[in-house]
Amino acid sequence: MDFVLAHYLQSLPEEKRNALSTYYEGAIPSIDGAELLPPLQAIIEQMHPSHLVTIVQNFSRGDQNALLSVLSESQANFLKEELQIDEEIKEPSPLLKKFLLQLLTKALLENAPPLSPILPTSPLNKLLQLTHTQLMNLCSFLGLHDLANEVKKIIQSDKLKGIEAILSQDEKKCLKNLLKGKEIVTFGTLNLQSWDGKKESLREVLQGRGINRLAKALYKENPTLIWHVSHKLEKNQAEMLHKLCVDPKNKMAQEALKNQVMTIIKENL
């Protein structure tokens, strides 16, 4: 695809360009008692770039470069590396930028569930305010609930010291508090007896367990909320979240998981 249409739009009289500019910007109505989602550009800016790789890849080389121009610097650099793009990215005109955002959004929403610009009231709507980094920190803290159960079973002091060395000070404090109580919601073992001692592998396990808890907490939440949260994660993590977002078959357990999410957001993020 090329941008003949975009160049045509730029050639229009100012009055018509302004009318089209308003159209592409879109407007979200203000409704009391509901959570209004951020405008289109903000949603794309907050999205993990791994979700955009396949979309941008389907455009011609020249158009790929143009599409990267409407993304944040970190997103553009991620895609440049993934797609091996070396060309300099040029700043688009305001009207062309809106047109490009419209193209990206249309492609992005092709396989998405019906999305609403308005969310019903829910405490978990606070997840929309988290960045990718904060969301991954949330998952790490959630994973500590699983780790607390496992640590009680470990007898090797070197293994315990290795785990402690990897955790942040806030995570150590959280784990210490969790060890004083009894975990309400338990899942399978972490198999830490066979842990290789590497920081990356433990962090991956913690975040994976955290995604599981987050997914269960999100069960029966509005599909639009789940979609937006998942697109702040890396694509493989988002797929895991959707796969694990199933009924925990225990209302008390699900409420406990929601409370864990909200407590961490309040106290640790």
Asked whether residue 167 is assigned to any structural domain, the reply reads yes
State whether residue 184 is helix, strand or coil.
Answer: coil
Q: What six digits make up the tokens of 101?
A: 């955002």
Asked whether residue 170 is assigned to any structural domain, the reply reads yes
Asked whether residue 175 is assigned to any structural domain, the reply reads yes
pLDDT band at 229 (very low <50, low <70, confident <90, very high): very high
HSE, side-chain direction, 13 A CA sphere, residue 124: 25
pLDDT for res 25: 42
> Is pLDDT at 89 greater than 90 in this prediction?
no
Share of the chain above pLDDT 90, in %: 52
252 plus 199 within the same structural domain: yes
Asked whether residue 23 is assigned to any structural domain, the reply reads no
253 plus 185 within the same structural domain: yes
pLDDT band at 24 (very low <50, low <70, confident <90, very high): very low
pLDDT for res 149: 87
150 plus 179 within the same structural domain: yes
> Is pLDDT at 11 greater than 80 in this prediction?
no
124 plus 107 within the same structural domain: no
Instruction: For helices 199-218 and 157-166, give the axis angle rounded to 10 degrees.
Output: 70
What is the tally of structural domains in the chain? Answer: 2
97 plus 183 within the same structural domain: no
Per the structure, the complete domain to which residue 107 belongs is given by 4-13+39-111
**C-alpha span between 261 and 138 (Å, rounded):** 7
Asked whether residue 26 is assigned to any structural domain, the reply reads no
Segment 39-44 shows an average pLDDT of 72
User: Of the candidates 75, 91, 111, which is a domain's last residue?
Assistant: 111
For 60-81, how does the pLDDT look when each residue is reduced to its tens digit (9 = 90+)? 888 898 999 999 999 999 999 9
49 plus 136 within the same structural domain: no
Mean pLDDT taken over the chain? 84
200 plus 247 within the same structural domain: yes
User: Of the candidates 59, 83, 111, which is a domain's last residue?
Assistant: 111
> Is pLDDT at 15 greater than 60 in this prediction?
no
If one compares 28 and 178, the residue with the highest pLDDT of the two is 178
> Is pLDDT at 45 greater than 80 in this prediction?
yes
Asked whether residue 226 is assigned to any structural domain, the reply reads yes
For 116-166, how does the pLDDT look when each residue is reduced to its tens digit (9 = 90+)? 777 889 999 999 999 999 999 999 999 999 999 888 777 567 778 888 889
Q: In terms of pTM, does the model score above 0.85?
A: no
Helices H, strands E: what count in the chain? 14, 2
Segment 201-225 shows an average pLDDT of 95
142 plus 264 within the same structural domain: yes
Share of the chain above pLDDT 70, in %: 84
Asked whether residue 28 is assigned to any structural domain, the reply reads no
Asked whether residue 135 is assigned to any structural domain, the reply reads yes
User: Of the candidates 111, 135, 150, which is a domain's last residue?
Assistant: 111
227 plus 198 within the same structural domain: yes
Segment 12-37 shows an average pLDDT of 47
pLDDT band at 19 (very low <50, low <70, confident <90, very high): very low
CA dihedral 109, 112, 118, 122 (to 10 degrees): -150
Classify residue 153 by its DSSP letter.
T
85 plus 125 within the same structural domain: no
9 plus 62 within the same structural domain: yes
List of residues 6+ apart from 9 with CB closer than 8 A = 17, 20, 95, 96, 99
84 plus 128 within the same structural domain: no
Tell me how far the alpha carbon of residue 176 is from its chain's centroid. 28
